[in-house]
Amino acid sequence: MIEIQNLSKHYNGVQVLNIPQLYIKEGESIGLVGNNGAGKTTLFSLILDLIQPDSGSVKLKGEQVQGNGAWKKFSTAFIDESFLIGYLSPNEYFYFLGELRGMNKVDVDAFVSQFEEFFNGEVLNKKVFIRDLSKGNQKKVGIIGALVGEPELVILDEPFANLDPTTQFRLKSLLNRLKQEHKVTLLISSHDLSHTVDTADRIIALNKGVLVKDSPKTPETLNELNSFFAVE
């Protein structure tokens, strides 16, 4: 699904990312962890062609992302609030995304209705702009928006942030169902090590832009990560 070769990025002469090689298979659920400044968001931005690398390449299902939009047909993401359209209501936003992905309003309504519990009655069919929602409800809109159209690859940056504990558990259940029932390839970054481990099959850790851990999840993974970051 994802092939990265000799990927690097610098800002003001400082290296923020340097990954010689990384492969992610279709259907894998990846938990990306690291402290602030580790390069997680930079990596996601490069995968999504939001910024240009200084060197190297990213391919999604064999498609070079730079200068090629073919990968957008099967890939979606929610990185931050800039991915939302603040002057739309949540329903209007979902309709907009659905139209981009070949869905009519009836199909979109049927799709988003299955997430009523996740929205907790606070998002759908409300006469409110996205910009006026709480940070947590904006996050919910962005996450579900990234799932519209049944994408094969979903990238979520800090999806658990700003969510209350109940919604965090509902999100974990939702993500696990996506990978088990729909075989979606998931890339999830989070500062919450426990939630990341709970939703990932494979853990990738970055430190100052360098890949320092890449291994399948095991029963010891959470303790290993806690020990690693305790001494950072």
pLDDT of residue 231: 65
Q: Mean pLDDT in runs of 10 for the chain (232 residues)?
A: 96 93 95 91 95 95 89 93 95 96 95 93 90 95 95 95 92 90 90 88 93 90 83 62
Q: Where are the beta strands (DSSP E) in the chain?
A: 2-11, 14-24, 29-33, 55-60, 63-64, 75-78, 153-157, 185-189, 202-207, 210-216
Q: What is the pLDDT of residue 230?
A: 78
CA distances from 36 to 133, 189, 231 (A): 26, 11, 15
For residue 232, the model assigns a pLDDT of 58
pLDDT confidence of residue 179: 85
The pLDDT of residue 183 is 85
pLDDT for res 184: 92
Q: What is the dihedral of CA 169, 208, 66, 100, to 10 degrees?
A: 20
Per-residue confidence (pLDDT) for residue 182, from 0 to 100: 79
Q: What is the pLDDT of residue 190?
A: 87
pLDDT computed for residue 180 by the predictor: 84
For 61, phi then psi, to 5°, come to 50, 40
